[in-house]
Amino acid sequence: MYVRSDVQAAECSFLQSWYGSAPAWLLVGGQPAVAEEVLQRHGISCILSCCDRLPLPPWTRNHRASMRDSAEERLEPFLEEALRFLREAKAAQQKCLVACHAGSSRSVTMVLAYLIMEEGMSLHNAWDLVRTQRGSAQPNRSFARQLIELDRAVHGVT
């Protein structure tokens, strides 16, 4: 997986396909990335919101995973529908923004879970990829533990 670095981190970060030549479709960001002008400038037509307070425009295809950024929050109840939404966006060749308030914990966690479960990446490689473009990436400790468990379940080791 290659990462494009030509997008301002304050908005969103592109995660490009492993093949490098395919158009970037998966983005991660915070509330500033949901601004209409940002979405239009980057051709984003799908938004996976990982929080309940993020305003979503009516002209984008949206899915809300109302996660709390807390030690008590479990990822499992949100994964199936969120990953289905991301698979559908990729299959339709639509750019999809995964966003939360700050773009550092919940959205990054969901992108890491997607990379582990759908793209077959190890947590280590997925984390390296995301961190290179999203310097503010910092899942909370509970999410980090759950991602380690997920990686072990998918790949057998971490």
Pairing of strands 2-4, 12-16: antiparallel
Any bridge partners for residue 143, and if so which?
none
**Is 100 known to be catalytic?**
yes
For residue 122, give both structure tokens: 């190890």
Active-site residue, from 12, 46, 50, 100: 100
Q: How far apart are CA 126 and CA 131, in angstroms?
A: 8
For residue 44, give both structure tokens: 């984003």
For residue 65, give both structure tokens: 């995973």
Residue 73, phi-psi category: left (phi > 0), alpha (psi -120 to 50), beta (remainder): beta
Q: Is the dihedral of CA 97, 16, 132, 9 positive or negative?
A: negative
**Residues noted as catalytic:** 100
